[in-house]
Structure 1
Amino acid sequence: MVLSDIGKYADEQFNNVSSHYPYAEIPLWTIMPNHLHAIVVISACRDVARNVLEKPTAGYAACNVSQTESICSDGDVARYVSTNPTDKNEYMAERSPKQGSLAVIIRGIKSSITKFANENNIDFAWQPRFHDHIIRDTSELNRIANYIENNVANWKDDEFYTP
């Protein structure tokens, strides 16, 4: 399979995932013209993920109301934005992907590749979600690895294949 510029960049991102997410590695992946497959291994030690986070300076940072009011249409502008890590928005905390999760890794990779596409004026879009499957034993790992490795050979059978 000959990779496009985006495919080459995606390949780099998968190859270097551990430098961005020290609790994760991607030992096997394949990049197809319209999709990709990867086995993502996440360390059982989730504390590593929590320690990677930057700790913002405690306290409050002043927010320039005159500038934010022109940006915000509803006029409900906070005068101060908390930078204290203990001041969390509980609603968003419950719904946001948790550090150390597969969703955080995938979001980071997709974001990086999208940024690359935009900076290089490449027309590109992701499908909004991803399919995941927990691999529970060696036989399942071997079956999925075999599927990923042979996916390129099956490209001719894909409904989006064009010679």
Structure 2
Amino acid sequence: MDKYKNKYRIASARAPFWDYGCNAAYFVTICTHNREHYFGEIINGKMQLSEIGEIGENEWLKTFEMRPDMNLWMGDYVVMPNHFHAIIGIGQNQYNTQRDTQRDTQRRDAMHCVSTTNTTNTTNTTNTTATTNNDLPLPSKNQFGPQSKNLASIIRGFKIGVTKNARILNPDFQWQPRYHDHIIRDNKSFNTISNYIINNPMNWKEDKFSIKEI
């Protein structure tokens, strides 16, 4: 059994240093399995949606209606033959405000732990560093751990909604297991990505996603 251990495990593509539930804008790309053209075709530089493509667009619009508590906002988006690009913003809400408060408390507790440890070990400077390091928790691969009410939960819900309805029309419909995200950090990046999304259908022939995976 050991030879199969982690063989089919899908590694996370998320940045381990980032809380994906916090107040920020994100550029997301989601592809169909093997980049199959389920969503329609580009004709004369314009996207002609199939029925499944219309499902994809409708499910994205519903995403914002279904989650008023997350204070989401919608940027530019485009449904392409085999993938989907979108800018999505998560505003300040009750969930990321709670996490900010919890992290502040954890930082204060950690600082208190260090202060107490250093005080009790002043007689032995050799052991002070070792004791402090052992008492503090080691960093995990993602310090924020699994969460709800974040980008991953939004994309998961969107993909499930599309899959459920698309398979009524085509039982073979599948997404790729993962998705790509980019944290948008400034206005210049935001405008560049918006222009890329808007012009994506016109530039389809040069798009790297136009080539099917085998």
TM-score, L = length of structure 1: 0.64
Over aligned residues, Cα RMSD in angstroms? 2.4
Tell me the amino acid that sits aligned with residue 59 of structure 2. Q
Label 1:137 to 1:126 Cα distance change in 2 as closer, same or farther (>3 A).
same
* CA offsets 1:46-95 (integer angstroms, 9 cap, x no match): 43899xxxxxxxxxxxxxxxxxxxxxxxxxxxxxxxxxxxxxxxxxxx86
State how far apart, in whole Å, the 2-side matches of 1:141 and 1:130 are: 19
Task: Quote the offset at 1:16 in angstroms.
Answer: 2.2
Q: 1:17 is matched by which residue type in structure 2? A: T
How many equivalent residue pairs?
Answer: 118
Larger CA deviation: 133-142 vs 20-29: 20-29
Shift, 1:120, TM fit:
2.6
1:17 partnered with 2:63: yes
Unaligned runs of 5+ in 2: 1-46, 99-143
Q: Which structure shows the higher strand fraction?
A: 2
Residue identity (%): 42
CA distance in structure 2 between the partners assigned to 1:124 and 1:46 by the alignment: 36
Q: Runs of 5+ in structure 1 lacking a partner?
A: 51-93
In structure 1, what is the equivalent of residue 75 of structure 2?
27
1:107 to 136, 156, 160: 156
Task: Show the counterpart of 1:37.
Answer: 85
| Alpha carbons 1:32, 1:152 under 8 Å: kept | yes
> Is 1:118 aligned with 2:167?
yes
Q: Distance in 1 between matches of 2:164 and 2:145?
A: 24
Tell me by how many angstroms 1:122 deviates.
Answer: 4.4
Q: Point out the structure with max Rg over C-alpha.
A: 2
Contact persistence 1:14–1:26 (CA under 8 A)? no
Tell me the distance in 1 between the aligned counterparts of 2:97 and 2:61.
19
Contact 1:17 1:26 in 2 (8 A): no
Q: TM-score, normalised by structure 2?
A: 0.50
Q: Which runs of 4+ in 1 moved over 6 A?
A: none
Helix, strand or coil for the counterpart of 1:126?
A: coil
Alignment map for 1:76-115 (pairs within 5 Å)? 96=146, 98-115=147-164
User: CA, structure 1 residues 108+148, in 2 after alignment: closer, same or farther (shift >3 Å)?
Assistant: same
Greater RCO structure (CA 8 Å; 6+ sep): 2
